[in-house]
Structure 1
Amino acid sequence: MPRSPGGPEWSTFRLRFGAWLLLVSFPLVVPGSAWPRWDFAQIAQTAEKRYARLGPTQGRIQSWSEMLQGERNLPEQEQLKAVNRYFNQQLDFQDDARIWHQNDYWATPVEALIKAAGDCEDYALAKYFSLRQLGIPSDKLRITYVKALTQNQAHMVLTYYSSPGAEPLVLDNLIGEIRPASQRKDLLPVYAFNAEGLYLPGKPGSQRSGDSKKLSRWQDVLQKMQAEGFAVGDG
């Protein structure tokens, strides 16, 4: 369960080096590496074969491709705003039980766009992968589990660190504006992860129950994206 108010601050998160096992067991992701350009024409063809039953594919994938192309050479802050705005506008928030008839399903960006819907994990994942494709290093991005205090429930956001010691910016579907973590008193951080590993509050060797299950879903998403035609690493 997420901790009560007065728990860990955003700045107390440390990398648990044991999380490198995640990378050893699934070597698609190379920490900090630049990703090859995605071939959206091939991705669209693959999606048409895999996901035609879900809804129209071509237009939504083309829209995503055009957004990324338009933002490719802009400063990181502008890329953050564009990606955050794009997915907040494209996806209608719905829970997994309604979309996928499952309690907890992590959709790839393609699946979410075809459905035009997602839950908080789907927003955060789509933003993470988009910003990585635009060239932002993985060590600046963390998929972060929080407790949304107003809703009194678990939630997921994407956080961006301009430097290792910087205050993170929060990309969220609950509030469209990107704000520094200090201005998000409604969110209580629990733990975070990215291609580098698992970030936990307190001692680097600590671990929360349930982390391995969540990270296995992360691996599942990477595998599905590879099957969809995405290069999500340079290996």
Structure 2
Amino acid sequence: MTKIIGLLTTVILLSYSLIGLSREELDLNKLIAFTRDKYDEDAVKRMVAWRKIIAEKKGLPEKEKLQVVNRFFNYFEFVDDIKLWGQENYWATPIEFIGLRGGDCEDFSVAKYFTLLELGVPIDKLRLIYVKSITLNQFHMVLAYYPTKTAVPLILDNIDGEIKPAFKRKDLVPIISFNGKQLWINKQKGQGKTATSGKSLKDWDNLSNRYSLEAFKS
């Protein structure tokens, strides 16, 4: 458990500073220019498709938003960080993930998380969860959606593309879950014990700062 918490301290816990950024004010033309300069025309098409989802799907019921976002990102390619970034553990911003059309499980989950927040899904309903994948015999990350505070969450995953309630994902053993407000040490049953606040996990600032610079680059 200490190793997992230590890993988290080097990567992510979401901060309100980025959540509060007004994506409605994002200049799409500037984002396209940034994407074209850094990536390619295919990346521009993906970026436009992403922003179209943000612009057009806010009125959908929440569960339909989950389906749209999960389907969009699960078309992307799984690529290990070593191969893509030359690092054992690199947390890509959603824009980096979309630009390259690839990343590892954390990148899939983070991109879905941010997109659902932009679509108006409350932060209290979303958690990123580190799990042990029994099938893969390794650590993995998924995104969980809680319809209510005490509900069984729905799991969004890049390995199994079908959104399922957690009790149907017996191949996943939850370890730690977190969002922009709290970190939980998970139990086999129930919601888990609150462990700490987001302030104790500092390096999300690096990712959030890169993301905000990319998204609003002038």
TM bucket (normalised to shorter chain) is 0.7 to 0.9
Give 2:95's aligned amino acid.
V
Give 2:180's aligned amino acid.
A
**Cα distance, 1:137 vs structure 2:** 0.9
Decide which of 16, 26, 31 is 1:43's aligned counterpart.
31
Query: In 1, distance between residues paired with 2:18 and 2:96?
Result: 20
Structure 1 residues 180 and 222, CA gap change in structure 2 (3 angstroms): same
Give 1:107's aligned amino acid.
A
Structure 1 residues 136 and 34, CA gap change in structure 2 (3 angstroms): farther
The equivalent of 2:7 in structure 1 is none
Spell out the pairing of 1:32-111 with structure 2 (5 A cutoff).
35-37=22-24, 38-49=26-37, 51-52=38-39, 56-89=42-75, 91-111=76-96
| Residues 1:138 and 2:128 are matched in the alignment | no
- Once superposed, what is the RMSD of the aligned Cα atoms? 2.8
Give 1:158's aligned amino acid.
L
Look up the SS of the partner of 1:189 in the other structure.
Answer: strand
Q: Is the 8 A contact 1:106 1:217 kept in 2?
A: no
Aligned identity (percent) is 41
Query: In 2, distance between residues paired with 1:183 and 1:94?
Result: 26
Query: In 2, distance between residues paired with 1:172 and 1:84?
Result: 8
Decide which of 128, 141, 150 is 2:113's aligned counterpart.
128
Question: Which segment drifts farther, 39-48 or 161-170?
Answer: 39-48
Spell out the pairing of 1:13-32 with structure 2 (5 A cutoff).
28-29=17-18
Query: In 2, distance between residues paired with 1:75 and 1:200?
Result: 30
**Cα distance, 1:63 vs structure 2:** 1.4
The equivalent of 2:205 in structure 1 is 219
**Cα distance, 1:47 vs structure 2:** 3.5
Question: Which segment drifts farther, 142-151 or 220-229?
Answer: 220-229
The equivalent of 1:158 in structure 2 is 143
**Normalising by the residue count of structure 2, what TM-score does the alignment of the two structures yield?**
0.81
Q: Is the 8 A contact 1:55 1:115 kept in 2?
A: no
Q: Which runs of 5+ in 2 are unaligned?
A: 3-12, 187-191
**Cα distance, 1:205 vs structure 2:** 4.5
Query: In 2, distance between residues paired with 1:229 and 1:109?
Result: 9
| Residues 1:185 and 2:170 are matched in the alignment | yes
**Normalising by the residue count of structure 1, what TM-score does the alignment of the two structures yield?**
0.76
Look up the SS of the partner of 1:157 in the other structure.
Answer: strand
Structure 1 residues 77 and 133, CA gap change in structure 2 (3 angstroms): same
Structure 1 residues 35 and 186, CA gap change in structure 2 (3 angstroms): farther
Query: In 2, distance between residues paired with 1:105 and 1:199?
Result: 22
Query: In 2, distance between residues paired with 1:180 and 1:39?
Result: 37
The equivalent of 1:6 in structure 2 is none
Q: Is the 8 A contact 1:190 1:200 kept in 2?
A: yes
Q: Which runs of 5+ in 1 are unaligned?
A: 3-21, 231-235
